[in-house]
Amino acid sequence: MTNEMLVLVEKARSAEDAGDFAAAFQAWNQLVSETRRADHYCQLGRVASKLGMWAEAEKAFHDALAIKPHFAVAMLMFGSLLLIRTDGDQTDNAKTAKDWLLRAMEIDRTAMALSLMGAADYRLGEKDAAKDAYRAAIEIDGAYEEAYFNLGNIVAEEGDDAEAERLLRRAIQLDPNYHVAHGRLGILLQRVGRSSEGEAELKRALEINPADAIASRYLNRVAGGLGSTN
């Protein structure tokens, strides 16, 4: 890349670090117009996703794949987009996400791809398949905290409290600042009657992220003497 393009890359990354995703989008958009690089289109799509610009993100990933048809990263990121976007039919989005994730895994079977596959399966009501995907992700990467957390959520829903606690605590061990894991563990502990432990976890979730509405709601229930529910 030229010095001018390197400056643009640094500008885009600095804007992201500062949380200015609109400026980052503009920088990546300028870059793709000049470089036509598949990886730059992926960066553009990723930032567009953060801004909720779903159509722009989808176009960016399609453009990346038009340039580099077997680019597993673009397939993976497109699958991820389909799972987080709020427009369109959510079931159809999940089915399409699975298609792209399967294509990506034919090229590169990663823990991230399997974890996203688990999310797609769960969205489609295929809980056993989702659990299998999360377990496969953990087999590939034993430090992939998101897979432990998501698997713990499903296990908790099925009533295996001891296993759910183990998985959620493992996620927290891997990432002590994983606020949603603290919150979910707090809810679980409250539900099984370990109120003081549960309250401590919920408070920890809010210490990490004061905007955690779920942890706040459950703490308010405890403070109001209403107990907690799953």
Q: How would you write the pLDDT of the chain (230 residues) with one tens digit per residue?
A: 788 888 889 999 999 999 999 999 999 999 999 999 999 999 999 999 999 999 999 999 999 999 999 999 999 999 999 999 999 999 999 999 999 999 999 999 999 999 999 999 999 999 999 999 999 999 999 999 999 999 999 999 999 999 999 999 999 999 999 999 999 999 999 999 999 999 999 999 999 999 999 999 998 887 665 444 44
Rg (CA), the chain: 20
Query: Which residue, chain included where needed, has tokens 């229930």?
Result: 221
H-run or E-run covering 98: helix 90-107
CB contact at 8 A, 2 and 10:
no
Q: Which helix (H) or strand (E) holds 144?
A: none
Give the residue from 183, 123, 177, 179 showing the smallest Cα distance to 154: 123
Domains, the chain, in order of start with CATH, read 1-69 (1.25.40.10), 71-142 (1.25.40.10), 143-230 (1.25.40.10)
- Its pTM stands at 0.87
Helices and strands per DSSP (H, E), number in the chain: 13, 0
